[in-house]
Structure 1
């Protein structure tokens, strides 16, 4: 990672801590005490200012309890709506593009489209249609649960490219229907998922970042892999789709 400013230009406010190491973490030292915490997304075009406050622990020893990164004078923060909605929109649109290319390939090679819709990478893996069904289920389920509304139910009966594309479009409409205020502030909301005779309980943030996203990416990537393995002319840019604000 390239840091935006030299070490001696990084300012820490609080109790005489000095920065002694920058790698994947910043390490702060005050006499024999030190604190370590990770550095995340840094705007390389702006100066990094690390701010913290200290309070006394039970033993009277100072401890860092609040830190944040500032760029250009404003705190760097990102909300669940900024994380969730653009991610789902980008890759759901990518899925539509993948299906368009698959349809073109099937026509050019005189392949029955049903062959590709039912194609799978291994005998015990789900076929392409089910990969897309699960990916869309993850997207609509996440937005609904974070917003505190009922998850829409789909029939899972798609058997053609057009039907799968219609499912994706329906999911995009649902994802885009919510305001930021309906999703933001739900980081600590308890999400309860029923799994047969068990219940899985997660905070909204952990649910999105550590359960939904891995599932969603897996099934989108597997859709890409199925079509690529079947001979469809695809590349990584087709998987990435349109990155917001970026021209590839």
Structure 2
């Protein structure tokens, strides 16, 4: 019999897998000839920059972590970084924060009628949107990233063959 899936598993582990994808994409982008200009790059002229989308991913992951663990959100107030190296470091710090959380969580109802449930239902889809935008911005700027660059870090250790 397999262990039941917890809200912590669904939220924190989802954020960790997504942050590992962001890390891998940014690492690949760091060898691109235009790497210095990528943090300010946009998918379209009326959209936010790559740096904003990375900041949003880290802030949303940290906010979800704080929500589930009942901890302060000090790590959920990252400032927008200016270089790929700073963006990667920010992602690394957020991953370390989430990995250091263990399995300890404050009691949380699975009933999504409460304010906590509503916050969680907003955090995850927003995180996934910004994760997709990180990929899209890099791809639009000529960084050679493809489907497997997105999926492999995200699915590592979760699905057979990844």
Q: TM-score range by the shorter chain?
A: 0.7 to 0.9
Q: For the Cα contact (< 8 Å) 1:131–1:219, is it kept in 2?
A: yes
Deviation of 1:158 (Å): 1.1
TM (norm. structure 2) is: 0.86
Equivalent in 115, 118, 131 of residue 40 of structure 2: 118
Runs of 5+ unmatched residues, structure 1: 1-71, 191-200
Q: For the Cα contact (< 8 Å) 2:59–2:78, is it kept in 1?
A: no
Equivalent in 139, 147, 159 of residue 69 of structure 2: 147
Equivalent in 131, 145, 148 of residue 234 of structure 1: 145
| Relative contact order, higher structure (CA 8 A, sep 6+) | 2
Whether 1:95 aligns to 2:22 is yes
Distance in 1, matches of 2:146 and 2:22, equals: 13
Whether 1:177 aligns to 2:132 is no
Runs of 5+ unmatched residues, structure 2: none
TM (norm. structure 1) is: 0.58
Q: For the Cα contact (< 8 Å) 1:118–1:129, is it kept in 2?
A: yes
Distance in 2, matches of 1:161 and 1:219, equals: 16
**1:114-142 CA deviation, whole Å, 9 max, x = no partner?**
32111102222110001000110000011
Deviation of 1:229 (Å): 1.0
Q: For the Cα contact (< 8 Å) 1:102–1:232, is it kept in 2?
A: yes
Give the number of the structure whose residues are more often helix, by fraction. 2
| Counterpart residue number, 1:218 | 129
Equivalent in 11, 22, 31 of residue 104 of structure 1: 31
| 1:4-23 to 2 correspondences below 5 Å | none
CA gap 1:189/1:216 in 2 versus in 1, 3 angstroms: same
The total of aligned residue pairs comes to 158
